[in-house]
């Protein structure tokens, strides 16, 4: 197994037909101590000036609650953005100070909507950024669209963001002020059908798709695609989130000899299911999870039965792209986070920093950064380099969305000498061939 790229030292880096409200999956550069002290989560001003000369950027993510894992690297990414904006932003020859005001959506749609409206009405933000799961992103985007505030969002499958908020399949631009970048069903389909053939199986695929927005959407959109590709999908039926006994599903998968297993659960449900599967002797050759298993802590919590689980990645340190705002490479972004936080990198680092790349580019491209319609118009034609790659609005799948990659990989035991227990290695790159493949998928053996 190739050695993790994180083992090398690095210098400090100076949204009713297709889908409804599917969630994720579908399914944090070292800074000096004084800077970290000055850039705490909870809002921060990169400088003082009159309101007319200050650009205010709102940032909403789930930092607590069920989706808190997505918000783990927020403090670090925010510190990088604040540092990059410390000297202000010059637009059309005029210098503006930049203030970033960040809020916790608490993994709750009502709370996300509340804090978004607070940022819009009480703080008077000029631009909103939001990330991670429809429970956060969709209500924030809806609040911005209603108020006429430009918003850029990410880490919700794009169909869930676009159609889940009311757009029709025939609409090419459903929204005026809200814009999004993320992978979609096509990227998941590509990843799975390029990853699974790497292990010889009978193509019988047991699925655990819950009776929630994610599971129902995947059942409707992804299920038929897999069947068309020759996969025999064994679906015991939608289950309720929070189920404690999966014996009937496990018995079905065992009796039908399902050598591939796929699920889009909330993290706690997968942990319960997978421990019961191990106890009852269900061991498929491929264990493909989404929505959970994105971050090291989620997989480590499973112990030995987590090793060998396959997942999808929307960013890793091996993405060959830099942040246009901070000039930081993907590798250095991960190394710096590890050095600063003492924690292993998470894939949320890339898209969260990409939001600020897009924000800076949009404000600078606007004829007047204080004119919300002008900023929205700038986003609609934006072309910007970010850690997740080049984002070009106007190139499809519709005017509001940029489709980004999700690549297939696997959690393996970290190489000897690594300070971490696990490593995530990419095994296919169908939706972005520029990202290197590190290994072939191995059969699950735990």
Contact partners, residue 110, CB within 8 Å, separation at least 6: 139
| 21 or 69, higher pLDDT | 69
Tens of pLDDT, residue by residue over 127-145, are 999 999 889 999 999 999 9
pLDDT for the residue numbered 439: 96
DSSP 436: P
In the chain, domain spans: 5-184+317-403, 187-314+407-426
| 266 or 395, higher pLDDT | 395
Residue 73 confidence (pLDDT) above 80: yes
pLDDT for the residue numbered 333: 98
Strand partners, 402: 181, 397
Identical topology for domains 5-184+317-403 and 187-314+407-426:
yes
Share of the chain above pLDDT 90, in %: 77
Report, as an integer, the average pLDDT of 231-241: 94
Report, as an integer, the average pLDDT of 95-113: 97
Residue 66 confidence (pLDDT) above 90: no
Closest Cα partner for 195 from 160, 231, 169, 221? 231
Helix (H) or strand (E) holding 59, with range, is strand 54-61
Tally Cβ neighbours within 10 Å of residue 439.
15
CATH 3.40.50.2300 assigned to 5-184+317-403: yes
Axis crossing angle, helix 267-279 with helix 247-255, rounded to the nearest 10: 60
pLDDT for the residue numbered 51: 55
Residue 303 confidence (pLDDT) above 60: yes
CATH 3.40.50.1100 assigned to 187-314+407-426: no
Q: Taking a C-beta distance cutoff of 8 angstroms, is the pair 155, 348 a contact?
A: yes
Tally Cβ neighbours within 10 Å of residue 32.
11
Closest Cα partner for 380 from 367, 368, 362? 362
Predicted confidence band of residue 1 (pLDDT cuts 50, 70, 90): very low
Q: Taking a C-beta distance cutoff of 8 angstroms, is the pair 363, 397 a contact?
A: no
Predicted confidence band of residue 14 (pLDDT cuts 50, 70, 90): very low
Residue 340 confidence (pLDDT) above 80: yes
| 241 or 428, higher pLDDT | 428
Contact partners, residue 445, CB within 8 Å, separation at least 6: 308
Residue 370 confidence (pLDDT) above 70: yes
Report, as an integer, the average pLDDT of 355-369: 97
pLDDT for the residue numbered 272: 95
Share of the chain above pLDDT 70, in %: 88
Report, as an integer, the average pLDDT of 345-357: 98
Residue 26 confidence (pLDDT) above 70: no
Backbone angles phi, psi at 154, to 5 degrees: -160, 175
Closest Cα partner for 70 from 267, 240, 222, 241? 267
Residue 165 confidence (pLDDT) above 70: yes
Tens of pLDDT, residue by residue over 172-204, are 999 999 999 999 889 999 999 999 999 999 999
Backbone angles phi, psi at 191, to 5 degrees: -60, -50
Tally Cβ neighbours within 10 Å of residue 148.
12
| 272 or 213, higher pLDDT | 272
Tokens matching residue 61: 């993510």
pLDDT for the residue numbered 151: 98
Distance CA 399, CA 380 (A): 7
Predicted confidence band of residue 7 (pLDDT cuts 50, 70, 90): very low
What is the residue-averaged pLDDT of the chain?
89
- Of the chain, the end-to-end C-alpha distance in Å amounts to 17
pLDDT for the residue numbered 29: 30
Distance CA 349, CA 12 (A): 16
pLDDT for the residue numbered 241: 87
Cα pseudo-dihedral 103, 105, 110, 111, rounded to 10: -50
What's the burial of 347, exposed, middle or buried (CB within 10 Å: 0-12/13-18/19+)?
buried
Predicted confidence band of residue 220 (pLDDT cuts 50, 70, 90): confident
Taking phi first (over 0 means left), then psi (-120 to 50 degrees means alpha), and beta for anything else, what does residue 106 get? left
Tokens matching residue 254: 């065992």
């Amino acid at each position: 197994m190739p050695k993790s790229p994180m083992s090398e030292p690095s210098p400090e880096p100076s949204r009713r037909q297709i889908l409804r409200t599917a969630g994720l999956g579908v399914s944090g550069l070292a800074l000096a101590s004084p800077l970290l002290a000055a850039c705490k989560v909870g809002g921060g001003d990169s400088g003082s000036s009159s309101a007319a000369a200050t650009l205010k950027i709102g940032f909403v993510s789930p930092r607590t609650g069920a989706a808190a894992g997505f918000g783990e690297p927020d403090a670090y990414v925010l510190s990088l953005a604040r540092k990059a904006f410390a000297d202000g932003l010059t637009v059309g020859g005029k210098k503006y100070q930049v203030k970033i005001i960040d809020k916790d959506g608490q993994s709750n749609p009502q709370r996300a909507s509340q804090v978004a409206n607070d940022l819009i009405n009480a703080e008077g933000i000029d631009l909103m950024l939001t990330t991670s799961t429809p429970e956060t992103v969709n209500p924030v985007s809806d609040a911005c669209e209603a108020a006429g505030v430009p918003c850029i969002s990410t880490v919700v499958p794009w169909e869930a963001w676009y159609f889940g908020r009311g757009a029709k399949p025939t609409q090419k631009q459903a929204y005026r002020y809200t814009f999004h970048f993320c992978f979609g069903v096509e990227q998941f389909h590509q990843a799975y059908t390029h990853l699974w053939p790497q292990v010889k199986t009978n193509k019988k695929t047991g699925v655990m798709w819950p009776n929630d927005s994610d599971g129902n959407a995947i059942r409707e959109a992804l299920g038929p695609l897999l069947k068309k590709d020759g996969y025999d999908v064994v679906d015991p039926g939608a289950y309720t989130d929070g189920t404690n006994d999966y014996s009937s599903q496990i018995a079905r998968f065992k009796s039908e000899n399902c050598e591939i297993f796929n699920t889009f659960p909330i993290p706690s449900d997968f942990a319960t299911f997978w421990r019961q599967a191990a106890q009852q002797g269900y061991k498929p050759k491929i264990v493909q999870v989404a929505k959970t298993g994105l971050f090291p802590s989620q997989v480590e919590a499973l112990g030995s039965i987590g090793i060998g689980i396959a997942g999808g990645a929307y960013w890793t340190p091996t993405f060959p792209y830099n942040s246009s705002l901070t000039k930081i490479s993907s590798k250095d972004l991960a190394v710096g986070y590890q050095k600063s936080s003492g924690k292993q990198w998470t894939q949320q680092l890339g898209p969260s920093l990409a939001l600020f790349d897009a924000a800076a580019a949009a404000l600078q491209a606007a004829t007047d950064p204080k004119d919300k319609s002008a900023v929205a118009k700038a986003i609609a034609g934006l072309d910007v380099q970010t850690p997740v790659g080049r984002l070009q609005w106007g190139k499809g799948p519709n005017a509001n969305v940029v489709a980004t990659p999700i690549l297939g990989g696997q959690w393996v035991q970290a190489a000897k000498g690594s300070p971490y227990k696990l490593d995530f290695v990419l095994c296919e790159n169908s939706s972005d061939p520029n990202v290197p493949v590190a290994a072939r998928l191995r059969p699950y053996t735990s």
